Amino acid sequence: MFKLILVILLILFSESVYNQTRVSVNGKNYYLVDAVVEDGDTIPFIKLREIVILPPKVFTSKKQEQKYLRLVKNIKKVYPYAKLARNKMYEIHNNVISFQTESEKNKYLKVAEKELKNEFEDELKDLTITQGKLLIKLIDRETGQTTYAIVKELRGSVEAFLWQSVARIFGSSLKTEFDSDGEDKMIEDIIVRIDNGQI
């Protein structure tokens, strides 16, 4: 009985089941999954999503708890934008490398920038300075590149310098990196809890 429950749990919590092709045979639905053959037996190979278990947060004061809750609120607001930035960056990068000429690339980038502006400009204008600084860090976390490096790659050094100057006026830097083991350890902890559905 234990083995049956274990197999059912593995299938239910498997990330790969939901990403696999669903087929219907004689009115019954099945999923195609990877398998390995060992000693003549075919065994389903199902990759499980990693889940990190973290203990409940303990606060030493009400002020510390309020600061933490404020950080959680800010991360929940900007984290989806950081993930979206990662996806858009990969999409744009994959499209840009397919162009033969610099003019094709520039034309595509202008269209992509206009679409992004139309879709997100109003929402991003509503971010506070604190949320903006947090977004810069989370973009680095999600993409592995600073915001400055991304702007420089896509728009050139001059535009990257200009945006860096604007960021400096507001006490920020597009060159800020995410340090999950250092000053951004609390942010990393919150993101893991968000991804796990704990907060």
Q: Where are the domains of the chain?
A: 2-44, 62-196
What is the spatial distance between Cα 69 and Cα 73, in angstroms, rounded to a whole number? 6
Asked which of 11-15, 85-89, 136-140 is least confident by mean pLDDT, the reply is 11-15
pLDDT digits (tens, 9 = 90+) for 65-98: 999 999 999 999 999 989 988 888 888 878 878 8
**DSSP for 71-97?**
HHHHHHHHHHHHHHHHHHHHHHHHHHT
Q: What percent of the chain has pLDDT over 70?
A: 89
Residue type, 88: K
Task: Read off the pLDDT of each residue in 115-137 and give the average, rounded to a whole number.
Answer: 83
Q: Vertex 24, ends 18 and 29: CA angle to 5°?
A: 55
Question: Which of 153 and 187 is assigned the larger pLDDT?
Answer: 187
What residues contact 155, with CB distance under 8 A and at least 6 apart? 109
Q: Binning pLDDT at 50, 70 and 90, where does residue 20 land?
A: low
pLDDT for residue 155 is more than 90: no
